[in-house]
Structure 1
């Protein structure tokens, strides 16, 4: 058997780890990701003060050290994002989806309860905060219709960064300069912090989209953005995630996926709708 440099993982160890991590998160790493995984496992072992993979993995599986699993999740999840990413979908939200939601909920002046929007995974907050900025600047009904925006992610570290909402130039590159001046404050070293009022208006949660029991806390969302995460799941986990998202939405609710993702390859429970800006998926009206 061959061993990885640093971690001491054998091929058998790697297979045991892959199986364990898949069962806990629904994320499956192929052999082509071995170098990526080994480096991050090594970082977890060193940070937790263990000498070997064997001792660390035993503690991870058999003890009540939930901090070990959370650190592992934080190390192994990818959180590449920036403001107004794939913003053609935000165009669709404003031009078609929100008008349809208003109509389905009774129209202006008659809507009962807030319009609820979920961003999952929200990473360091750029996506839910982008939604908030687009609504504040471009949706004419934002002053008369109550809107709730929620963000959720499996990674506790990125959620902490999302709550702080401090961003660099690269993350803000697509944000119009007047918006930066209006909604962000320079905090030095090329960093800008989002307005406290917007931060407080977005509710953040920690959840794994494949965890059916945990996802039951999410209900009655009119719009869900779940972009660029299903591609990391196998067929079974993707289907479970789709079913959990379905359960989180109102009948008639809209689901946005990433540009390289297709619900038709995962589950038939959503109805695709082609808009000028691309495809959006809808939970059928009247569906239980």
Structure 2
């Protein structure tokens, strides 16, 4: 089953993708409502008459309460680390547990939406990921494509504070084109539970990256268990896989090549991410209006760094 949120005739609805039609849920339920019921109950929900897919605008499949974005691909870590801070290799601590950061659930975009990068950002990048959506009772309800857009020049500066990415990340993320329930992808799982899905990324129709999702260091079930450890995860939360290797983002290639080739994204560039068994997600890069300058820091009386 594939669930989607879409706009039609000025109204936002959610429902099931049925061949060439979108079948809205009766009663105005959202995708997040359906996720909270579990796959079996969601598949039994009453549906309204279909709307032709060609007449709707797809939106982000759901609005999650939180997004934990993991970094589960070793090759990505090695390449981006060299690009961001000039150091090669993978930190020893990375192998201890699946690390993640929280990103912004309020700036999610759907398919074909323009992505407004900070006007000051010049090292503009995409990140090809698969996201798992948590179901009830700490299960995985399904999967969608996640583009974790990144302003690498902003990210490089702010991560020197050792708190992780900040404004270099939270301006936008894309989800879509829809949410595919886990049972539809179970046939792609290998003996260890990794999903052998082919993932590709292209810019303006030119492929720049290709990898298998099964190259993750941990399964999604392990990511979910770690997210829930000493904490709380609820139905509808999103868990990003982290960026795939072998060109899943430009920064990895910059770190490997030693130059910004391929070049950073520019206004008008269209990025398309495709994942086997799920679909494709495309967005166009634009610039947001210039932001107001940040007021100067007021130094305290006791100088830390005289």
Global fold match (TM > 0.5) = no
Q: Normalised by the shorter chain, which TM-score bucket? A: under 0.3
Higher RCO (Cα < 8 Å, 6 or more apart)? 2
Report which of the two has the higher share of helix. Answer: 1
Q: TM-score with structure 2 length normalisation?
A: 0.25
Report which of the two has the higher share of strand. Answer: 2
Q: TM-score with structure 1 length normalisation?
A: 0.26
